[in-house]
């Protein structure tokens, strides 16, 4: 209950649980004492569908005792385990502690396996079938949700199988991206560029940098507006891996290409977040995973 500012919710849950169990006991007791008046044929007088009559029979003994057992079990459980608000239980068990223990045990179990790759470089590991098999499973479990099972990505998610890297494609930079995550930010630039026409002209100049279809006249007019972009993308438009600024000359478009896509990017900006995996994976796992990702575009 540490998410709350005071103990109210802890007491609220505890009282709710106790009252619920007490209500079950009262209901069980009343059902054994109170009997609905029956007619001569031992029915309650309730009829459904014309001829379906409700009998006035007591609850079966096995059902009553099963009800009692569940109540006793609930009471014992709440004494031993968490359930009454912030009360930790006599056994001191918690899901977080159990998860931590299981993760520790799992790490110890696979430590000898990863120890074999500790002294290997990424270049060596891409030639090691076992390392690549482990890296593939790590990729499928942790990366494929965004980058796809074939690592080719999709709109907004980079392709990891080519040599176009936003933050650099060396094994060291790839493992840093996996461990620490990346937070790409492009601010809205429309105000710095000028009028909507200026933004369109700039979009065509950006298209011209990669030889994409564009309006030559608009591109020539937009060249002077590229100075607002050069601080990040460079004067030649080839990007800056230190900042994660994309190369605009290679005809690879992460968020879509064409006048409309570029105009929207300039007007609204863009934020892309890759979550850090350092708390989910061990250093050994990240090293093998990094080598696998590097090998997607560098494997012999």
- pLDDT for 135-180, tens place per residue? 999 999 999 999 999 999 999 999 999 999 999 999 999 999 999 9
Q: Are 254 and 236 in contact (CB under 8 A)?
A: no
Q: Does domain 105-181+275-298 sit in CATH 3.30.365.10? A: no
Return the pLDDT at 182.
94
Range(s) for CATH 1.10.760.10 in the chain?
105-181+275-298, 185-274
Q: Point out which residues pair with 245 in neighbouring strands.
A: 240
Answer whether 0.85 is exceeded by the pTM.
Answer: no
Backbone dihedral region for residue 8 (phi beyond 0: left; psi -120 to 50: alpha; all else: beta): alpha
End-to-end CA distance of the chain: 53
Q: Does domain 185-274 sit in CATH 3.40.50.300? A: no
Distance, in Å, from the CA atom of 288 to the CA atom of 290, rounded to the nearest integer, reads 5
Q: Which of 176, 132, 20, 148 is nearest to 84 (CA)?
A: 20
**pLDDT < 50 regions, the chain:** 1
Return the pLDDT at 38.
63
């Amino acid at each position: 209950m540490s998410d709350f500012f005071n103990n109210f919710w802890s007491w609220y849950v505890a009282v709710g649980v106790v009252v619920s169990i007490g209500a079950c006991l009262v209901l069980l007791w009343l059902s054994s004492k109170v009997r609905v008046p029956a007619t001569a044929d031992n029915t309650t007088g309730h009829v459904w569908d014309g001829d379906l009559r409700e009998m006035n029979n007591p609850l079966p003994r096995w059902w009553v005792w099963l009800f009692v057992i569940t109540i006793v079990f609930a009471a014992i459980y709440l004494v031993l385990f968490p359930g009454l608000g912030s009360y930790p239980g006599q056994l001191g068990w918690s899901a977080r502690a159990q998860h931590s223990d299981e993760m520790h045990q799992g790490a110890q179990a696979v430590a000898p396996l990863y120890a074999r790759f500790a002294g290997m470089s990424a270049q060596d590991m891409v030639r090691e079938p076992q390392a690549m098999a482990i890296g593939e499973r790590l990729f499928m479990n942790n990366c494929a949700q965004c980058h796809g099972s074939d690592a080719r990505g999709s709109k907004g998610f980079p392709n990891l199988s080519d040599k176009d890297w936003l933050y650099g494609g060396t094994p060291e930079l790839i493992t840093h991206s996996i461990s620490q995550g990346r937070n790409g930010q492009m601010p809205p630039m429309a105000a710095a560029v000028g009028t909507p026409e200026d933004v369109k002209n700039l979009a065509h100049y950006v298209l011209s940098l990669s030889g994409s279809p564009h309006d030559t006249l608009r591109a020539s007019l937009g060249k002077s507006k590229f100075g607002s972009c050069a601080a990040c993308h460079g004067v030649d438009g080839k990007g800056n891996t230190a900042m994660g600024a994309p190369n605009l000359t290679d005809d690879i478009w992460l968020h879509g290409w064409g006048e409309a896509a570029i105009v929207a990017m300039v007007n609204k900006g863009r934020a892309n977040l890759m979550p850090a995996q350092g708390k989910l994976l061990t250093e050994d796992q990240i090293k093998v995973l990094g080598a696998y990702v590097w090998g997607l575009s560098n494997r012999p």
